[in-house]
């Protein structure tokens, strides 16, 4: 974790060192171990340093090449150092004296603008190429390290955080209303825009070349949705997963200072923690710190029995946060000193508390199990594959098995994945095949043959014209399809920014994938992942921590996507390959844990108990600024329903959450559209 900044004026102005210093000072929390700037004429870059890796202790940035024609500033941890050192002819020196920024600069000298293709790790960097009068910039594969920029005919300015860009006088904090619409509808697919009109993001896995001729962006890597891995046995898949996952954890343990791991007791964080503990113990290093949220006042949220099962392995130093005493809104003023945009994740405050505890424990590098669900994949769409292949006995057996491990009913799985294939048989008059399917579903799932025949057979034979009329009656007399825009959004605002059209254009999830791999690819490439990583980065940076995410390893992501669906879901167990791979690493109660504890009760309690007065103020007294964007009648009606003591529904709470956080952000930032 470090902070980077840079300016290039195209109109001949000289970069003022005071401007660079101000940008660097804004990012001081990202690099408390020193800062520096470099400038020459119309170009300047800056850096603030956070020591984490052994090499960072001797790293000096910005770094000027020996020939003086290249200058780099970087926020980077390069993981394939062992491969790069000999490939770049740097294997004659002491590896610990060769920094990651030196490796990136040498890679650029050897491979030019193709150099990011040769790098593994988390990185955001900019190289000034004096001979070409060009800035070359790149961001890592998943977007762990942030990169924001401003570009006009007069200037190009970049930084690790938007607040540093806003310290430059010519960059105005004008509100991007399109982004506001994205927030209100939870549609974060656009990986370029930000909450400010003038500030953009370099998307993950993208490079950028910037000169007076303009800005050119291109993707240097993308996931292959067609590749399938074929190994000899379940054991071979498990062994391969374990090797790659262990590498992903090991390279993220490279640290000169204490390392911690977020331990919730779930499968993901426990996998990271147990592998990290074992690797540190084998190397004879200091014990691993763990930081865990506990909920003693809310037993339904508390996972201490699972946490303690992991800690019983020994060689760990535990720390705890009493998260049941925290609330979603109580520390927003402090959070927004560091976080630049409105908030999406309702449990953001839990990460904030964990990071604070990690800093107090003297930790600099903090591992977590972020989005292991997506990285490995539960493989639920395997049911669609089985149904399309007419493997109804396997479908039924898997449905029955999964319902024993997770709160999912076989009927729900049939309705989600089996309806279209079943009705297809009826439409094609393939009644023998239909009868076999009904027999297997009745036999293994105890679903009535009559129900299956009527609902999934005869219903499919209703003429298309009749089905259209029925749908029209459901929608109302207008016959117009239901709008994709949330009722939370002010209709006139939605119309003004063409929000419905934007959702339809960017909403890649409108079509249900028919294979587990297609579903997995769709989940891995959603814009929510990069946005969540950016917010996690700023939450860690606020406490001078470097957040590292083993499940976001490029090698692991590629491997898991290529797995056959039965390695993701088998005998009712999701993420089966991980469970097999870590059989002798995870405690058995964690390895075969089904679902996970929901944090929703704690969120609802904090919002309605601790933040009640603030909610009242925002909804009824401080709503003027959000009225332009939010349907206040719908918001207040929802709030009154929540206050009435009726059973709370997640959608109602999320409506409140989105509106409240946006209102508070607008009140704090006072931006104009």
pLDDT tens-digit series, residues 271-286: 999 999 999 999 988 8
On the question of pLDDT at 561 being above 70, the answer is: yes
Helix, coil or strand: residue 598? coil
- Among residues 590, 536, 601, 650, which one has the least CA distance to residue 323? 601
Using CA atoms, how far residue 116 sits from 78, 125, 246, 373, 450, in Å, is: 11, 10, 23, 27, 59
The pLDDT of 109-135, averaged and rounded, is 97
Using CA atoms, how far residue 179 sits from 200, 341, 488, 533, in Å, is: 11, 10, 15, 18
pLDDT at 424: 85
441, 407 Cβ separation under 8 angstroms = no
pLDDT band at 534 (very low <50, low <70, confident <90, very high): very high
pLDDT band at 465 (very low <50, low <70, confident <90, very high): low
480, 472 Cβ separation under 8 angstroms = no
The CA radius of gyration of the chain, in Å to the nearest whole number, is: 27
pLDDT at 484: 84
pLDDT at 477: 47
Percentage of residues of the chain with pLDDT beyond 70 = 95
CATH of 234-376+519-591 among 2.40.50.100, 1.10.287.610, 3.30.70.270, 3.40.50.620: 3.40.50.620
pTM beyond 0.85, yes or no: yes
What would the DSSP string read from start to end of 403-423?
A: HHHSS--HHHHIIIIIHHHHH
332, 314 Cβ separation under 8 angstroms = no
671/228: higher pLDDT: 228
What are the residue boundaries of the structural domains of the chain, listed by start? 3-219, 234-376+519-591, 382-473, 600-669
On the question of pLDDT at 546 being above 70, the answer is: yes
pLDDT at 358: 97
651, 185 Cβ separation under 8 angstroms = no
DSSP state of 56: G
Strands of the sheet containing 214-219, edge to edge, are 63-64, 70-78, 121-129, 134-139, 206-211, 214-219
The pLDDT of 194-212, averaged and rounded, is 97
pLDDT band at 482 (very low <50, low <70, confident <90, very high): low
Q: What is the pLDDT of residues 286-316, one digit of tens each?
A: 899 999 999 999 999 999 999 999 999 999 9
62, 43 Cβ separation under 8 angstroms = no
Class of domain 3-219: alpha beta
Q: What is the pLDDT of residues 403-422, one digit of tens each?
A: 888 888 888 888 888 888 88
Q: What is the pLDDT of residues 13-66, one digit of tens each?
A: 999 999 999 999 999 999 999 999 999 999 999 999 999 999 999 999 999 999
Cis before 62 (ω within 30): yes
In sequence order, the β-bridge partners of residue 326 are none
Q: What is the pLDDT of residues 605-620, one digit of tens each?
A: 888 888 888 888 888 8
Using CA atoms, how far residue 526 sits from 260, 385, 549, in Å, is: 28, 22, 17
490, 631 Cβ separation under 8 angstroms = yes
331, 513 Cβ separation under 8 angstroms = no
């Amino acid at each position: 974790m470090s902070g980077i900044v840079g300016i290039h004026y195209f109109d001949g102005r000289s970069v003022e060192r005071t401007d660079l210093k101000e940008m660097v000072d804004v990012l001081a929390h990202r690099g408390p171990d020193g800062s520096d700037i470099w400038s020459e004429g119309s170009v300047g870059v800056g850096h603030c340093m956070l020591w984490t890796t052994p090499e960072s202790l001797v790293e000096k940035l910005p770094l000027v090449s020996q020939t003086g024609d290249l200058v780099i500033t970087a926020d980077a941890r390069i993981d394939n150092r062992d491969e790069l050192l000999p490939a770049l002819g740097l294997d004659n020196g002491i590896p610990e004296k060769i920094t990651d920024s030196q490796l990136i600069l040498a890679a650029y000298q050897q491979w030019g603008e193709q150099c990011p293709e040769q790098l593994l790790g988390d990185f955001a960097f900019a190289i000034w190429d004096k001979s070409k009068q060009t800035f070359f910039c790149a961001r890592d594969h998943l977007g762990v390290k942030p990169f924001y920029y401003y570009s006009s005919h007069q200037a190009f300015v970049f930084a690790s955080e938007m607040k540093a860009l806003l310290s430059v006088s010519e960059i105005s904090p004008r509100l991007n209303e399109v982004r506001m619409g994205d927030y209100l509808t939870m549609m974060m697919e656009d990986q370029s825009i930000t909450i400010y009109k003038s500030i953009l993001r370099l998307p993950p896995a993208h490079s950028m070349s910037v000169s007076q001729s303009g800005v050119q962006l291109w993707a240097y890597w993308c996931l292959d949705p067609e590749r399938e891995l074929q190994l000899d046995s379940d054991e071979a898949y498990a062994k391969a997963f374990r090797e790659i996952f262990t590498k992903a954890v090991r390279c993220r343990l490279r640290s000169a200072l204490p390392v911690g791991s977020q331990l919730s007791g779930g499968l993901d964080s426990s996998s990271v923690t147990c592998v990290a503990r074992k690797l540190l113990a084998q190397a004879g290093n200091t014990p691993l710190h763990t930081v865990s949220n506990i909920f003693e006042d809310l037993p339904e949220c508390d996972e201490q029995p699972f946490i303690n099962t992991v800690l019983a392995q020994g060689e760990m130093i535990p720390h705890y946060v009493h998260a049941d005493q925290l609330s979603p809104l109580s520390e927003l003023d402090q959070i927004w000193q560091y976080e630049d945009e409105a908030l999406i994740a309702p449990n953001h405050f839990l990460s904030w508390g964990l990071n604070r505890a990690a800093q107090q424990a003297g930790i600099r590098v903090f591992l977590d199990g972020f989005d292991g669900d997506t990285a490995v994949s539960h493989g639920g769409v395997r049911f669609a594959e089985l149904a399309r292949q007419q493997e109804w006995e396997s479908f039924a057996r898997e449905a029955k098995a999964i319902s024993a491990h997770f709160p999912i009913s076989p009927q729900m799985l049939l309705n989600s994945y089996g309806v279209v294939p079943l009705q297809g048989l009826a439409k094609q008059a393939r009644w023998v095949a239909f009868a076999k399917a009904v027999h297997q579903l009745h036999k293994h799932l105890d679903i009535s043959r009559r129900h299956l025949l009527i609902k999934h057979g005869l219903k499919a034979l209703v003429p298309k014209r009749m089905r259209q009329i029925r749908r029209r009656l459901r929608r109302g007399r207008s016959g117009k399809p239901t709008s994709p825009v949330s009722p939370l959004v002010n209709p006139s605002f939605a119309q003004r920014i063409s929000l419905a059209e934007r959702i339809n254009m960017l909403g890649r999830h409108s079509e249900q994938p028919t294979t587990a791999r297609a579903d997995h690819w769709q989940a891995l490439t959603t814009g929510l992942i990069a946005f969540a990583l950016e917010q996690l980065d700023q939450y860690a940076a606020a406490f001078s921590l470097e957040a590292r995410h083993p499940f976001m390893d490029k090698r692991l992501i590629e491997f898991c996507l290529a797995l056959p669906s039965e390695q993701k879901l088998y005998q009712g167990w999701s993420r089966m390959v991980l469970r097999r791979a870590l059989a002798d690493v995870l405690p058995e109660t964690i390895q075969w844990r089904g679902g996970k504890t929901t944090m929703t009760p704690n969120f609802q309690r904090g919002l309605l108990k601790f933040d009640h007065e603030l909610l009242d103020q925002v909804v009824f007294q401080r709503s003027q600024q959000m009225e332009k964007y939010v349907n206040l009648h719908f918001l207040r009606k929802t709030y009154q329903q929540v206050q009435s003591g009726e059973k709370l529904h997640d959608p109602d709470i999320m409506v409140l959450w989105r509106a409240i956080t946006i209102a508070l952000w607008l009140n704090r930032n006072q931006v104009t559209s």
